[in-house]
Amino acid sequence: IHESQSCFPNSVSSLSVDAQSLQKQIDELSTFSDTPAPSVTRILYSENDVLARRYIKNLMGLSGLSVREDAVGNIYGRWDGYEPELTPVATGSHIDAIPYSGKYDGVVGVLGAIEAINVLRRSGFKPKRSLEVILFTSEEPTRFGISCLGSRLLAGSEALEKALKTTVDGQNISFFDAARSAGYANDQEDLSGVFLKEGSYSAFVELHIEQGPILEEEGISIGIVTAIAAPASIKVDFEGNGGHAGAVLMPNRNDAGLAAAELALAVEKHVLESGSIDTVGTVGILELHPGAINSIPSKSHLEIDTRDIDEKRRNTVIERIHQSAIIISKNRGVGLSEFKIINQDPPALSDKSIIQAMEAASRELDLSHKLMISRAYHDSLFMARISPMGMIFIPCYKGYSHKPEEHASIENIANGVKVLAVTLAKLSLN
């Protein structure tokens, strides 16, 4: 008997996504923002983040999921299977949004997961393994400089658990004070309850916009992710003597801002030297102190992101950036007071049987699909440490992401939700 027939009495083509409600939810969620529409800014543990979380928990409840939250605010919504002793199948993504970004990144994988549950319920499906929808805390590194904070911790990072005890945000608010202000971390500073054991899930699948232009350009509905590129992030601080912009003559300067400018250009140079189209590097943060037009910068701070699907090649780029930072510091007589690799994660591979399930689902739904790699990282990168993992991509407008113009059509989102629903059904019965 064909696998899809064992879960859906009728053909999968009869599965119905409530596209109108889903679009309405995406639009409503986007209003919880610290910046005006069309931009979205939703920072971890902010008032808007708390309101958005409440909105999601309410939707989970309406979809019949039983909700629990852990100490850092990962939110779990569970649909019990008829063999509840089996390890469950999970899906999910994030709803935090970097400053002035868009309304689809992450959100499609949370609201879409809840809608996939609705699709399965409406079809009459009964899960064998339980199904869980997870909202991960702070996929974006905005507030505390730590990406995938929730999934990284959930996947057992003791280094992160330790680091969080002394982590503060740009306003010097501690991680724990921030978490408590949002109603989390009530058991002092013990986060061990957040850890999940390897094998806690039989599968994890994340639905996400591609954040690249390939699917749209090739007119393909579904991307099936085979691997996630390995991200690394670096913080750099330079220090000079500063001084008055009029009075200190050029030969007497050691300008921390110009050191930062040189390093930013060196990042680009070393990335291009790798010779591979798959190597990328970005200076997204560059701050000068004191930041006055008539003051020579006495301090500068850069945050650098570099990624590759080849871990070794990426690490070579990091080494070259470090060498450049040292040389610039010497040549300019500027102190290199910090060169810190914040994270340097290995890439993750999708699980073969999950890839097969996603391919089969796409085929049964008659949706064009292709295998691809994810150049952006996702919570899936960390879920892969404790569970077989897979990701479903949908096309997005011009590949735009992390800006207000980010857009995915509701048709493409609905297709993704259907593939997710069928994939979850298959994995649940596995």
CA-angle at 420, arms to 418 and 422, nearest 5°? 70
Q: Which is nearer to its own copies, 236 or 422 (CB)?
A: 236
x/- mask, its own copies, residues 335-374, rule CB under 8 A, reads ---------------------------------------x
Closest separation between CB of residue 142 and Mn ion, Å?
A: 10
Closest separation between CB of residue 73 and Mn ion, Å?
A: 17
Residue 340's DSSP bridge partners are 235
51-78 b/e (C-beta count within 10 Å ≥ 16 → b): ebbebbbebbeebebebeebbbbbbbbb
Q: Which is nearer to its own copies, 98 or 111 (CB)?
A: 98
47-62 helix and 107-122 helix, angle to the nearest 10 degrees: 10
Number of residues located near Mn ion, criterion CB under 5 A: 2
Residue 186, judged by CB atoms within 10 A of its CB (0-12, 13-18, 19+), counts as: exposed
Closest separation between CB of residue 421 and Mn ion, Å?
A: 20
Binds 106, which of Mn ion, its own copies, none (CB < 5 to 8 A, cut-off by type)?
Mn ion
Q: Which is nearer to Mn ion, 91 or 130 (CB)?
A: 91
x/- mask, its own copies, residues 139-178, rule CB under 8 A, reads -xxx--x-x-------------------------------
SS3 category, 252: helix
Binds 62, which of its own copies, Mn ion, none (CB < 5 to 8 A, cut-off by type)?
none
DSSP letter for 370, please: E
Residue 96 binds its own copies (CB under 8 A): no
x/- mask, its own copies, residues 387-416, rule CB under 8 A, reads ------------xxxxx-------------
SS3 category, 120: helix
Residue 290 preceded by cis peptide, ω within 30 = yes
Q: What are phi and psi of 22, to 5 degrees?
A: -65, -45
Closest separation between CB of residue 286 and its own copies, Å?
A: 5
Residue 92 binds its own copies (CB under 8 A): no
Closest separation between CB of residue 266 and its own copies, Å?
A: 10
Taking alpha carbons only, the member of 104, 107, 31 closest to residue 405 is 104
Site residues for its own copies, window 287-346 (CB under 8 A)? 288-298, 303-305, 307
Q: Which is nearer to Mn ion, 295 or 315 (CB)?
A: 295
Residue 242 binds its own copies (CB under 8 A): yes
Number of residues located near its own copies, criterion CB under 8 A: 74
Q: What Cα–Cα distance (Å) separates residue 63 from each residue in 79, 116, 229, 231?
A: 9, 10, 34, 35
Closest separation between CB of residue 268 and its own copies, Å?
A: 6
Residue 286 tokens, joined: 């560059």
Site residues for its own copies, window 115-134 (CB under 8 A)? none
Residue 282 binds its own copies (CB under 8 A): yes
Taking alpha carbons only, the member of 144, 141, 162 closest to residue 153 is 162
Binds 229, which of its own copies, Mn ion, none (CB < 5 to 8 A, cut-off by type)?
its own copies
410-429 helix and 107-122 helix, angle to the nearest 10 degrees: 60
CA-angle at 414, arms to 406 and 373, nearest 5°? 60
For 356, residues 6+ apart whose C-beta sits below 8 A from its C-beta are: none
Q: Are 115 and 126 in contact (CB under 8 A)?
A: no
Closest separation between CB of residue 218 and its own copies, Å?
A: 15
Residue 265 binds its own copies (CB under 8 A): yes
Closest separation between CB of residue 355 and its own copies, Å?
A: 20
Closest separation between CB of residue 148 and its own copies, Å?
A: 11
Binds 297, which of Mn ion, its own copies, none (CB < 5 to 8 A, cut-off by type)?
its own copies
Residue 180 tokens, joined: 């408590």
Site residues for Mn ion, window 106-125 (CB under 5 A)? 106
Binder among 285, 341, 360, 410 for its own copies (CB under 8 A): 285
Q: Which is nearer to its own copies, 108 or 283 (CB)?
A: 283
SS3 category, 106: coil
Token pair 């990962």 in the structure block, residue: 74
Closest separation between CB of residue 249 and Mn ion, Å?
A: 17
DSSP letter for 400, please: -
Site residues for Mn ion, window 79-108 (CB under 5 A)? 105-106
